[in-house]
Amino acid sequence: MYRRAPSQAAVTALALLGLLCGAGAQGADPYEKVRALMVERQIEARGIKDRRVLEAMATVPRHEFVPETYRDEAYADHPLPIGEGQTISQPYVVALMTELLDLKGGEKVLEIGTGSGYQAAVLAAVTERVYTMEIRAALAKEAAARLERLGYRQVRTRLGDGYYGWPEEAPFDAIIVTAAANHVPPPLLAQLKEGGRLVIPIGSTRYYQTLTRITRVEGEFEVEHVTSVMFVPMVGAAQKQRP
């Protein structure tokens, strides 16, 4: 590790931890103020404006979706490992991808890559119908149990290869992919409703991808390149198929 003056991220993490310790002594929800600080400094400060997204980020208990050993870092400005080589995304990235879906409430959303279940919980706080798929059996089982325990019963979970989507429930108003692929899976495009949005990291390297939003307009697809991101790669059929 570098030995130098603390970065802004480190200062924020320390502030979060200090608030957590103070709130814990007061009872109630010990993470409420920590989440509020996360939203203010990490999310609103970077330009996220959708009030539904901000409210979701301020209420969903992110600490419940990380391993016990990382709970004191749950609201810090970086991703965290959740097992099997996977991560829970940085809070800002979760908020950004959710805002890009442009949800108003009532939409039917498909998430590819359940992971810990955190993104699905955020989506469920914004809209009522959320479907989420995970290819790793252990993560899928844990996330399903966690979402049930926390009361997110409107989220439907499924073990399977997200490359092929969830055709029985298509079409979807929005699709979000939380792993990087070197191309957009054609089945996901086919399952996107007219006017629907697909948000996905596109890139062939593990360390650099482009967060991309694709909107279906009159049978065509409009593509927007949003920003650079870093996600774990999509596995399964995505690794075997070629653009």
By annotation, the residues acting in catalysis are: 89
- Are 38 and 122 spatial neighbours (Cβ–Cβ below 8 Å)? no
CB atoms within 10 A of CB 18: 12
The residue among 208, 204, 209, 175 whose CA lies nearest residue 189 is 175
Q: Is 50 left (phi over 0), alpha (psi -120 to 50) or beta?
A: beta
